[in-house]
Amino acid sequence: MSDSDLEAMAQDELSRALTLSWRDLSKVIPWGDTFEGISPGGRQVEVERNYLWAGEPGGDILCEVAVYGGPSRYDQGARARAVISSPVA
* Mean pLDDT of the 15-33 span: 94
Residue at 41 is within a domain: yes
How confident is residue 88, by pLDDT bands cut at 50, 70 and 90? confident
* HSE value, Cβ hemisphere, 13 Å, CA-based, for 14: 19
Average pLDDT over residues 9-15: 97
Per the CB < 8 A criterion, the answer to whether 38 and 17 are in contact is no
Q: CA–CA distance from 60 to each of 24, 26, 65 (Å)? A: 13, 9, 16
Q: Is residue 67 part of a domain?
A: yes
C-alpha span between 45 and 61 (Å, rounded): 25
In this predicted structure, the answer to whether residue 35 has a pLDDT above a threshold of 70 is: yes
Asked if residue 10 belongs to a domain, the reply is yes
pLDDT in tens, 43-77: 999 999 999 999 999 999 999 999 999 989 999 99
Give the domain CATH number at 78: 3.30.1300
89 in a structural domain:
no
Interval 15-30 mean pLDDT: 94
Number of domain units in the chain: 1
Q: Note the helical H segments in 3-89.
A: 4-17, 22-26
Alpha-carbon distance values, 37 to 14, 17, 34, 70 (Å):
14, 15, 10, 11
pTM: predicted TM-score of the whole model, two decimal places? 0.89
Whether the per-residue pLDDT at 1 is higher than 90: the answer is no
